[in-house]
Amino acid sequence: MADLTSIKNIGPAFAASLKAAGIATAEDLRALGADAAYAKMLEGGARPHFIGYYVLHMALQGRPWNDCKGEEKKALRKQFDQIKAGSFDAERSELERILNQIGVVAVKG
């Protein structure tokens, strides 16, 4: 199994965020895809950040992180906003997030 950092554009900090969301290997990440992986990160309590989202897309395509431009970037922004709306709850406390991860608190929504 390949380390997450074997994927271009995935550094140690991003890899740690992915691992915290239960995505342990490059193969796991590729199998999930960028959208599902990012949703898992948000559900796990990561703060949403559009650049991180599109960097993940570029990484899985083997492209430089700053290659996302124009209409492609606009389309990814729309997808990001949808994922953020469905996977991130700014009102949820850290304790609720942890309890949700172990199945004690029902997902809001």
Is pLDDT larger for residue 46 or for residue 108?
Answer: 46
The mean predicted confidence, pLDDT, of the chain is 86
92 band by pLDDT with thresholds 50, 70 and 90? low
Residue 96 reports pLDDT greater than 60: yes
Residue 61 reports pLDDT greater than 70: yes
Is pLDDT larger for residue 95 or for residue 67?
Answer: 67
Query: Amino acid letter at 30?
Result: R
Q: Which domains, ranges and CATH numbers included, belong to the chain?
A: 4-101 (1.10.150.20)
* 46-50, 56-60, 72-76: least confident range: 46-50
Task: At 32, give phi and psi (nearest 5°).
Answer: -75, -40
Distances (CA, A) of 85 to 59, 60, 109: 23, 23, 10
